[in-house]
Structure 1
Amino acid sequence: MKKRVKGKSLKEIEPNTTYMGCTFYLDCVDGEDFAGTEFDNCSFRGSFCDWGRDECGLWMGFTYKDVHQVMRWIRPGTFMMGSPETEEGRFANEVQHQVTISKGFWLAETACTQELWQAVIGDNPSYFKGKRFPVEMVSWDDCKAFTEKLNEQMKEWQCCLPTEAQWEYACRAGTTTAFNLGDSITKNQVHYDENKTVEIKSLPRNNWGLYEMHGNVYEWCSDWYGEYDISITVDSIGPNDGTFRVIRGGCWGLSSGLVRSAYRNEYVPDNRYGFIGFRFCLRSQ
């Protein structure tokens, strides 16, 4: 039987609870706390200002200087990272191995937009301008500065780039095919083999509610680039050091084989290009 709570101001959410007429001030929340919850005529304030469930799962939203960003809850799980040897277009650096993501995390449903970058950093370096287009011409170092600036304002979070394992796990969204849409794609599904970016949410989302994980812009990950250490099967964070940082997802100018779920590439962390952006994740401190 569910617990019932009526007409209170609260800073926490408990699972398996029905809330009626409550006001929540949520600066940080774990998605697992929403298991079995129901809300009737409740309001949300604090850092997280709204939430919902749909066929893709749980989402929460925050607003930063009038720019709204939706985050998707990515539940813990185990998947096969990399590609099978039979996958068309695979590369030798995609050695398939099992990885467990032991803790859930919030991941932005889209690549970071130019309007959010402008709100946080105060400028817009992008080549292909448009407030709802992904920010590009940002280095890994620039993205690190963005997450640190956001952390200064919202101290209850740890805003960071996803690890390469987290990125591929979220991109696949439970699928095992070359793309999260199947073993082949069309230009109605993915933005590739073109000459510029498109607005976020222009194309279908994956099973977990994430848009443009394939194509549009590459996305920086937190890891140094190197061969997979297949002996590390839980929460892999990549090599301890290196020269290049991982980028994932492919981009607008590449062929379909270079936007696959398992496709990996790397760039020097201080490089800036019109085909590399990022999406960030949030974890509780």
Structure 2
Amino acid sequence: MMGSPADEADRLSTEDFHKVSLTRGYWLADTAVTQAAWQAIIGRNPVEFQDDKFNPVEEVSWDNAQEFITELNRRIAEAGGTEEGMLFRLPTEAEWEHACRAGTDTPFSFGTNITPEQVNYNGNRPYANGEKGAYRKKTVPVKSLPPNPWGLYEMHGNVWEWCADSWEEHLGEQPVADPYHASGSFRVMRGGSWGGNGRNVRSACRFHYSPDRRDDNVGFRLASGHKLRPHGSAQDKGQPPPWTRNVRSSDGQGGAWSRKKCWLLVPRLCLGMIIVKLRFIWEAGLQGQGFPSRSLGTRGGSEESE
């Protein structure tokens, strides 16, 4: 389910509660893009908080994120490309929430409430009458705080994260498959930030900015997978990502693909000093279980993996 139920405390009117099916798997980075990664690709550091190169990059617009992704994909292509043309992109809003929830149905992946020991937000403004806590007033390095059940870090708080979708005020209450909205004047952001209250870092919370707006509480996270198609267009529904085609599970039905084979088919990427760790997430047939992680990139000429 996507959105928030009617009885969730402090829910917003834009959080329509509805069933979403993700019929194709996707990869999602386990952290937001860091300042080190941004500088390696773009060559400048636009951020407000420069005390640690492993803090998430901020002060980047949706347009800036696309600039980064385009250049990253160009370098991958120059290095020989990837199996079946797998490239980086932003996650869709549905992919982002699915990964953030990590199989939970509570306001947070950590449960019914949070503390600043779990999430970087304004601890002076807790959620649903929770206890007050620390307010850091800045970003923290990625992986500083506990991951969600699927091993993804800082999905709640630290920086808002751009999504691929254009903003839709209401997503409706009807079941949908693989939603993605491509046209519109604003772009979706998810996750809340270091400066926001507890309400805004919930799994269901949605917000938006114009694609050219930058702020010191906005960054992004990389995804990879199938080519996005606008909601309502003809889609290859029910098919696995191209790099897992013809890989069948032990039951031979092809509805759930072998974990080992899926992640071993991820190509090696030559990205210099950049290590991008992705986790494969698949809903159809596997009920949203996380796949093993894989680090893509090279450091000192050797491939990193986990």
When normalised by structure 2's length, the TM-score is 0.65
Structure with a larger share of its residues in strand: 1
- Which of 24, 33, 39 aligns to 1:103? It is 24
| 1:182–1:160 distance in 2 versus 1, CA, 3 Å | same
Deviation, structure 1 residue 230:
4.2
Cα displacement string for residues 60-99 of structure 1 (whole angstroms, at most 9, x for unaligned residues): xxxxxxxxxxxxxxxxxxxx00000100110010010000
Aligned ranges 1:193-208 → 2 under 5 Å: 193=122, 194=135, 195-208=137-150
Match of 1:147 among 64, 69, 82: 69
Aligned match of 1:24: none
Letter in 1 for 2:193: C
Q: Which residue number in structure 2 is paired with residue 171 of structure 1?
A: 100
The residue that corresponds to 1:219 in the other structure is 161
- Alpha-carbon shift at residue 102 of structure 1 (Å): 1.1
C-alpha displacement at 1:261, in angstroms?
Answer: 0.1
Aligned pair count reads: 205
- Residue segments in structure 1 that go unaligned for 5+ positions in a row: 1-79
Q: 1:247, CA displacement in angstroms?
A: 0.3
Question: Where has structure 1 moved over 6 Å in runs of 4 or more?
Answer: none
Shift of 1:236: 0.3
Identity of aligned residues (%): 50
Question: Which digits, 9 at most, give the CA deviation of each residue in 1:116-152, with x for residues without a partner?
Answer: 0011111111110121000000000000111111111
Matches of 2:172 and 2:69, distance apart in 1: 27
Aligned to 2:171: 228
SS in 2 for 1:222: strand
- Could you tell me which runs of 5 or more consecutive residues in structure 2 were left unpaired when the two chains were aligned: 123-134, 227-241, 243-306
Matches within 5 A, 1:50-89: 80-89=1-10
Q: Are the structure 2 counterparts of residues 232 and 223 from structure 1 closer, same or farther at C-alpha, using a change threshold of 3 Å?
A: farther
Specify the SS of the correspondent of 2:189: strand
Q: RCO (CA 8 Å, sep 6+): is it higher in 1 or 2?
A: 2
